A and B are shown apart, each in its own frame.
Chain A
């Protein structure tokens, strides 16, 4: 039990650091040096938080991306900036701002289909895959996954994953996969941060994941973020749609993903 307390103490310590950290940037800002632009990026129609959307500042040729909760934050010297918000499959948004104080900029992006007349804004910066110090990572959006021809028309994200380099299926039709030679149990599969122990359904011919409720799938074949651990070979991070996400309070989500075969069921959290 001693260890347990030790860990709890550590967590508390982190919280304290958190508070300290909080004080620090504020004081820096008070010094008038830098201001922060932060906010959430969402799909305009559905309110879905967009994971990995790009925020690019033209003037200083730098940028950032949203985290898994659609949040971004970037600190800059005061001045005039042009910010471009982009996301694959969505129409980019450009904002010209004058930074004099901390700014909260929540951006809603529209898919090309949602937009009536097409406005094309080209980013000048190279793509994320060149810029990020992150390798052996593949992100797939659900649109890509949905297009892959599937057995009996049943789209399956695990089958899509098996098409990526370095990923082998363990046997035909199986929901097990091997990443860079690791065993199928060496993959950490997270569905909205909850560990999934068995991704197979119907003797493994279909995976349990319901593609209609999935927003984003990222496979880390190596270079697993330090925030995740417990498995040797890979991290498969699956994020579900938030549904109506205007609530800022704590919310409870119960993912019913005991998937009914060829039939609708309980899928969205607001139905569960």
Chain B
């Protein structure tokens, strides 16, 4: 298996005047992977998938005066999706070539925004982004009935634009400065997403499959409101913040039960869309300077989805909903050369679906599952420690070395990565829960060498 990301950027910065800064960028970005079995067998095959895009953008910043900074610009992306291609390898291959149709899309964005200081106390940032998305031929669109079965398909010719979506995305930020060390901020942002990832697994795999919005798949939309209080203590040495947010999402995508995502030309029939919402409180204390520095953060949050066709239309927890989350990151600098660092993380266990009953069919124990994500994995926590010692900075030495001693998961907690229910070897009628954990204590010594 191999995968690769490749990006290339050509950039040109130009000052039209001392007040007008511009940036022009051309970007090429590609992501591909291949997966196969060893050659020389009638069953050997290779599977490749690729997506790439070319984009161009122009951004301008106009420093009107100390109270107004105006930004505007435009961008365009050409997307090419080559979702899958499988073929046999070797001369006596059994397989015929199998290619999922390529598809193409264009994405545009135009924006205006201004950061304005109304007075000493009051700052605002307001802007709007207009975005559009078009499917462009050649392409094949399947039409589905209400049960998501394919009725027929339409083939569009080259350069034929067969679907256009448009959206306005307002962005607003307000800052009220209470004093030199405290402020209250509020923001609203509207966002739209036109390309999506067909990912069903909880852990990300490199075998990601991106797909575009289309006549069957509406873009995802979100509105987020946030309000926060920011306060610096001890001459700005300690930055503290508290933010609350509410995010409402429309046309969010999830996959039906037992969805088939790989090498499926009718992937769109496996999708279900609906509403999602999430809200939370985020607290953070950060110390950037001094011998002891780092941050402590706590998040209290909830995220749910309600999608027709999933969990019988009842709302369920999003896969990443972990209500309590604590991170502690601390560094202690004994000297310029020697630093001790530690971090501790805690998170409520991720939501999972467990069996609540069983049936026996064809001599196999078949689990009957709970509502989607009705259970949770055990809570996750872990401590990592590291000590870095830099070599002496000798003048006539052209290189610098650095020793790093680290311990990952210092107290060896066996955090559950997955829980499976398996049959007892001795008694096939007996089933039990088994957790899989990836890492216990992992010490490492690294020598970094720079010249």
Contacts and interface: CB of A to CB of B under 8 A. Distances in A.
- Direct contact between A and B in the complex (CB less than 8 angstroms)? yes
Interface string A212-256: 000000000111111101111100000000000000101111111
B247 A181 contact: yes
A19 to B, nearest CB: 7
Contact of B236 (A1, A104, A127, A186): A127
A171 B127 contact: no
Interface in B302-360: 302-303, 318-322, 325, 327, 329, 331, 336, 339, 341-343, 345, 347, 350
Contact of A73 (B63, B303, B417): B63
A175 interface: yes
Given A135-B185, A149-B407, A151-B442, A203 B197 contact: no
Given A172-B380, A193-B27, A231-B191, A253 B297 contact: no
Given A153-B444, A165-B298, A227 B123 contact: no
Residue of B7, B21, B386, B446 with highest tally of chain A CB at under 10 A = B7
B202 to A, nearest CB: 5
A76 B66 contact: yes
B355 to A, nearest CB: 20
B191 to A, nearest CB: 5
Contact of B208 (A14, A165, A197): A197
Contact of B226 (A136, A152, A168, A253): A136
Interface stretch (B83-91, B108-116, B261-269): B108-116
Contact of A196 (B29, B159, B444): B29
Contacts of A194: 7-9, 27-29
Given A73-B63, A254-B8, A165 B282 contact: yes
A197 B107 contact: no
A25 B169 contact: no
Nearest to A262: B446
A134 B106 CA distance: 30
> Binding site of A, secondary structure by majority: helix, strand, loop or mixed?
loop
Nearest to B299: A165
Interface in A144-173: 147-153, 162-166, 168-173
B322 A168 contact: yes
A226 B127 contact: yes
Given A197-B29, A198-B206, A230-B109, A164 B297 contact: yes
B351 to A, nearest CB: 11
Contacts of B107: 230
Contacts of A36: 17-19, 63
A119 interface: no
A96 interface: no
B20 interface: yes
A43 B192 CA distance: 37
B445 interface: yes
Contacts of A221: 245
Given A74-B63, A172-B438, A198 B221 contact: no
B106 A172 contact: no
Output the residue of B63, B77, B108, B195 with the most chain A CB within 10 A.
B63
A258 interface: yes
B275 to A, nearest CB: 13
Nearest to B70: A21
Given A75-B63, A229-B191, A208 B5 contact: yes
B439 A153 contact: no
Contact of B60 (A18, A104, A133): A18
B249 interface: yes
A271 interface: no
A168 B320 contact: yes
Contacts of A71: 13, 15, 21, 61
Contacts of B159: 1
A158 B80 CA distance: 27
A3 B301 CA distance: 41
A229 B9 contact: no
Contacts of A227: 59, 71, 73, 111, 113, 129
A129 B177 CA distance: 11
A42 interface: no
Contacts of B389: none
B205 interface: yes
Contacts of B208: 185, 197-198
A47 interface: no
A110 interface: no
A266 B375 CA distance: 45
A203 B9 contact: no
A191 B173 CA distance: 25
Nearest to A178: B320
Interface string B68-79: 010111101100
B99 interface: no
Contact of B113 (A67, A150, A170, A225): A225
Task: Determine which residue in A64, A152, A191, A251 has the highest number of CB atoms from chain B within 10 A of its CB, and name it.
Answer: A152
Interface string A199-216: 011011000100000000
Contact of A25 (B64, B131, B298, B301): B64
Contacts of B195: 230
A26 interface: yes
Contacts of A196: 5, 7, 29, 31
Contact of B189 (A1, A186, A222): A222
A1 B164 CA distance: 11
A173 B438 contact: yes
Nearest to B415: A172
16 contacts: A21-B60, A25-B20, A69-B13, A69-B23, A127-B239, A148-B343, A152-B408, A168-B347, A171-B203, A172-B203, A182-B249, A194-B28, A208-B5, A233-B247, A256-B6, A257-B5
Closest 5 CB pairs of A and B: A181-B278, A181-B303, A185-B197, A176-B204, A153-B446
Interface of A: 1, 3-4, 7, 10-11, 14-15, 17-19, 21-22, 25-26, 34, 36, 38, 60-62, 64, 67, 69, 71, 73-76, 88, 102, 104, 113, 125-127, 129-136, 147-153, 162-166, 168-176, 178, 180-186, 191-198, 200-201, 203-204, 208, 221-227, 229-233, 248, 250-258
Given A7-B74, A254-B8, 4 more contacts: A176-B204, A198-B3, A224-B189, A233-B222
